[in-house]
Structure 1
Amino acid sequence: MSPTDIDGKRATVIGGARSGLAAATLLARHGAEVFLTERDAVDDRMADALTKAGVAFEQGGHTPRALDADFLVISPGVPSTINLVQQALRQRLPVYSEIEAASWFCPAPIVAVTGSNGKTTTTSLIAHLFRTAQRPFVVGGNIGYPFSDYVDELTDAHTVVLEVSSFQLDHIQTFRPKVSVLLNITPDHLDRYDHDFNKYAQSKFRVFENQRPGDWLVYNYDDELVHDYVAMWAEKRGITPWPFSLEHELERGAFVRRDANGISQIVMSLPESLEPSSPTMIFEEELMPSSNTALQGRHNLYNSLAAAIAARAMEIRSDVVRQSLTSFEGVPHRLEKVRTVHGVHFVNDSKATNVNAVWYALESFPGNVILIAGGRDKGNDYGPLKSLVTEKVKGLVGLGESGDKVMAELGPHAEHNARAQTMEEAIQFARLMAEPGDTVLLSPACSSFDMFDNYEHRGDTFRRLVQSL
Structure 2
Amino acid sequence: MRQDFKNFKTNIKNKHVAIVGLGISNIPLINFLSKLGCKITLFDRKEIENFSNSEIKSFNKLNIKFVFGKNYLNYINNFDYIFKTPSIRSDILEFENARKNGSIITSEIEELLRYCPSKIYGITGSDGKTTTTSILYNLLKNSGHKTWIGGNIGFPLFSKIEEMHEEDKVVLELSSFQLMNVTLSPDVSIITNISPNHLDYHKDMDEYINCKKNIFKFQNDNSITILNRDCSITNSFEKELNGRCRKFSLDHTCDEDVIKNGAYLKNDELYVLNQRIFHKDDLKIKGVHNMLNFAAAILATIPDTSYSTIKNIAKEFSGVKHRNEFVDTINNIHFYNDSIASTPTRTLATLSCFDKKIILIAGGYDKNISYAPLLNAHDKIKKLYLIGATKQKIHDIFRKYSSDIEILTFDNFNKLVIHAYKNAEENDIILLSPASASFDMFKNFEDRGDKFKKIIQTIKASK
Question: TM-score, normalization: structure 1?
Answer: 0.88
2:393 aligned with 1:405? yes
> Which amino acid in structure 2 is aligned with residue 205 of structure 1?
K
Judged with a 3 Å threshold, the aligned counterparts in structure 2 of structure 1 residues 144 and 413 are, in CA distance, closer, same or farther, namely farther
Residues 370, 433 of structure 1: 8 Å contact kept: no
Q: How big is the shift at 1:8? A: 4.3
Q: How big is the shift at 1:58? A: 2.0
Q: How big is the shift at 1:168? A: 0.8
| Partner in structure 2 of residue 116 of structure 1 | 126
> Which amino acid in structure 2 is aligned with residue 233 of structure 1?
E
1:183-237 CA-to-partner distances (Å, cap 9, x unmatched) read: 111111110012x1111111111111221122221121111101102x1212xx3
| Partner in structure 1 of residue 380 of structure 2 | 392
Judged with a 3 Å threshold, the aligned counterparts in structure 2 of structure 1 residues 395 and 407 are, in CA distance, closer, same or farther, namely same
Judged with a 3 Å threshold, the aligned counterparts in structure 2 of structure 1 residues 290 and 367 are, in CA distance, closer, same or farther, namely closer
Judged with a 3 Å threshold, the aligned counterparts in structure 2 of structure 1 residues 127 and 52 are, in CA distance, closer, same or farther, namely farther
Residues 397, 429 of structure 1: 8 Å contact kept: no
Residues 220, 245 of structure 1: 8 Å contact kept: yes
Q: How big is the shift at 1:413? A: 4.6
| Partner in structure 2 of residue 306 of structure 1 | 296
Query: Distance between the aligned counterparts of 1:449 and 1:36, measured in 2?
Result: 23
Q: What SS does the aligned partner of 1:18 have? A: coil
Query: Distance between the aligned counterparts of 1:332 and 1:405, measured in 2?
Result: 28
| Partner in structure 2 of residue 288 of structure 1 | 278
Matches within 5 A, 1:263-342: 263-269=267-273, 284-313=274-303, 315-342=304-331
Query: Distance between the aligned counterparts of 1:57 and 1:159, measured in 2?
Result: 36
Q: What SS does the aligned partner of 1:304 have? A: helix
Q: What SS does the aligned partner of 1:192 have? A: coil
1:401-433 CA-to-partner distances (Å, cap 9, x unmatched) read: 222222222244552121112222211332344
> Which amino acid in structure 2 is aligned with residue 188 of structure 1?
N
2:244 aligned with 1:240? yes
Matches within 5 A, 1:2-401: 2-3=7-8, 4-40=10-46, 41=48, 42-60=51-69, 61-80=71-90, 82-89=92-99, 93-174=103-184, 176-194=185-203, 196-229=204-237, 231-234=238-241, 237=242, 239-248=243-252, 249=254, 250-258=258-266, 263-269=267-273, 284-313=274-303, 315-389=304-378, 391-401=379-389
Identity %: 30
Judged with a 3 Å threshold, the aligned counterparts in structure 2 of structure 1 residues 103 and 367 are, in CA distance, closer, same or farther, namely same
Q: How big is the shift at 1:436? A: 2.1
> Which amino acid in structure 2 is aligned with residue 191 of structure 1?
D
Q: What SS does the aligned partner of 1:144 have? A: coil
Q: What SS does the aligned partner of 1:168 have? A: helix
| Partner in structure 1 of residue 416 of structure 2 | 426
Question: TM-score, normalization: structure 2?
Answer: 0.89
> Which amino acid in structure 1 is aligned with residue 215 of structure 2?
V
Query: Distance between the aligned counterparts of 2:116 and 2:53, measured in 1?
Result: 30
Q: How big is the shift at 1:107? A: 1.6
Residues 348, 443 of structure 1: 8 Å contact kept: yes
Q: How big is the shift at 1:291? A: 2.7
Q: What SS does the aligned partner of 2:302 have? A: helix
Q: Note the residue ranges of structure 1 that are not aligned, 5 or more in a row.
A: 270-283
Query: Distance between the aligned counterparts of 1:336 and 1:361, measured in 2?
Result: 10
> Which amino acid in structure 1 is aligned with residue 359 of structure 2?
I
1:61-93 CA-to-partner distances (Å, cap 9, x unmatched) read: 425442212332211233446543343356574
Q: How big is the shift at 1:257? A: 4.4
| Partner in structure 2 of residue 277 of structure 1 | none
Query: Distance between the aligned counterparts of 2:99 and 2:261, measured in 1?
Result: 40
> Which amino acid in structure 2 is aligned with residue 321 of structure 1?
I
Query: Distance between the aligned counterparts of 1:164 and 1:53, measured in 2?
Result: 30
Q: How big is the shift at 1:115? A: 0.8
Aligned residues: 443
Judged with a 3 Å threshold, the aligned counterparts in structure 2 of structure 1 residues 47 and 329 are, in CA distance, closer, same or farther, namely same
Q: What SS does the aligned partner of 2:296 have? A: helix
Q: How big is the shift at 1:467? A: 2.4
Q: What SS does the aligned partner of 1:191 have? A: coil
Query: Distance between the aligned counterparts of 2:408 and 2:115, measured in 1?
Result: 52
Residues 351, 380 of structure 2: 8 Å contact kept: yes
Query: Distance between the aligned counterparts of 1:403 and 1:466, measured in 2?
Result: 22
Q: Note the residue ranges of structure 2 that are not aligned, 5 or more in a row.
A: none
Query: Distance between the aligned counterparts of 1:223 and 1:413, measured in 2?
Result: 31
Query: Distance between the aligned counterparts of 1:35 and 1:105, measured in 2?
Result: 23
Q: How big is the shift at 1:166? A: 0.8
> Which amino acid in structure 1 is aligned with residue 345 of structure 2?
N
Residues 438, 444 of structure 2: 8 Å contact kept: yes
Query: Distance between the aligned counterparts of 1:398 and 1:448, measured in 2?
Result: 13
Q: What SS does the aligned partner of 1:135 have? A: coil
> Which amino acid in structure 2 is aligned with residue 30 of structure 1?
L
Judged with a 3 Å threshold, the aligned counterparts in structure 2 of structure 1 residues 264 and 394 are, in CA distance, closer, same or farther, namely closer
Residues 39, 62 of structure 1: 8 Å contact kept: yes
